[in-house]
């Protein structure tokens, strides 16, 4: 059984104002993530997935064409935990380790924005590290997650409408800009990279 208390927000609900409101943070974490967790618990009860950890559920259900709902809910839990961990205030300076790979800070932002603006419908934009240790910016659709392709998540932006609609309505580009300028906790990103 999974529980929302295993996935606490790593910041206070007020920390991201004015770029992400308390209402957005609360709805996104408590209601959306909470629902994915409740759904997953129901779906795996009494199945072979019941005793697996979250990563195992994701990797195993991805290969099982009858387990689409289990995959979607499990992957959304993983993606959201990673997304919330990437958010914060106070460590917003893009580290050289990332910007240098893309030719500079401005170039990194432009590349990220162009991939993000290309997402049609619900999805996620990621910086990932490939097995050869090279960084890449990719998008995934719906609940899809890079770990099924052996890619290590470095940074992620949630581009489902629920991530921004209360604050930005149709101005998704402004949300993407503010994410890049103000909402990323680059300290988490670097610490997470160095854990390998």
Which stretches of the chain bind Mn ion, using CB under 5 A? 158, 160, 163
Tokens read off for 88: 């914060």
Q: Which is nearer to Mn ion, 36 or 108 (CB)?
A: 36
Residue 108 Cβ vs Mn ion, minimum distance, rounded to whole Å: 23
Residue 36 Cβ vs Mn ion, minimum distance, rounded to whole Å: 9
Residue 117 Cβ vs Mn ion, minimum distance, rounded to whole Å: 18
Which residue number places its CB atom closest to Mn ion? 158
Residue 88 Cβ vs Mn ion, minimum distance, rounded to whole Å: 17
Q: Which is nearer to Mn ion, 84 or 186 (CB)?
A: 84
> Strand, helix or coil at 82?
helix
Q: What is the 3-state secondary structure (H, E, C) of 124-151?
A: EEEEEECCCCCEEEEEEECCCCHHHHCC
CB-neighbour burial class of residue 27 (10 A; exposed 0-12, middle 13-18, buried 19+): middle
- Specify the DSSP element, H or E, that contains 154: strand 152-158
- One-character DSSP codes across 2-51: --GGGS--SS-TTTTTTTS-HHHHHIIIIIIIHHHHHHHHHHHTTSTTTT
Q: Which is nearer to Mn ion, 160 or 188 (CB)?
A: 160
Q: Which is nearer to Mn ion, 84 or 108 (CB)?
A: 84
Residue 112 Cβ vs Mn ion, minimum distance, rounded to whole Å: 18
Q: Which is nearer to Mn ion, 82 or 108 (CB)?
A: 82
């Amino acid at each position: 059984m999974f529980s929302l208390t295993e996935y606490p927000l790593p910041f206070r609900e007020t920390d991201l104002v004015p770029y992400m409101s308390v209402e957005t943070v609360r709805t996104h974490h408590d209601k959306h993530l909470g629902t994915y967790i409740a759904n997953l618990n129901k779906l795996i009860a009494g199945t072979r997935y019941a005793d697996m950890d979250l990563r195992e559920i994701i990797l195993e259900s991805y290969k099982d064409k009858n387990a689409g709902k289990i995959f979607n809910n499990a992957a959304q839990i993983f993606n959201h935990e990673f997304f919330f961990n990437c958010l914060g205030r106070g460590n917003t300076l893009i580290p050289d380790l990332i910007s240098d790979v893309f030719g500079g800070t401005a170039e990194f932002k432009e590349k990220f924005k162009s991939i993000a603006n290309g997402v049609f419908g619900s999805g996620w934009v990621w910086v990932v590290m490939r097995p050869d240790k090279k960084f890449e910016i990719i998008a995934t659709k719906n609940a899809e997650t890079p770990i099924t392709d052996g890619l290590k998540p470095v940074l992620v932006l949630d581009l489902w409408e629920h991530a921004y609609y209360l604050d930005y309505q149709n101005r998704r580009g402004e949300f993407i800009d503010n994410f890049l300028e103000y909402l990323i906790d680059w300290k988490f990103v670097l610490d997470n990279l160095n854990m390998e």
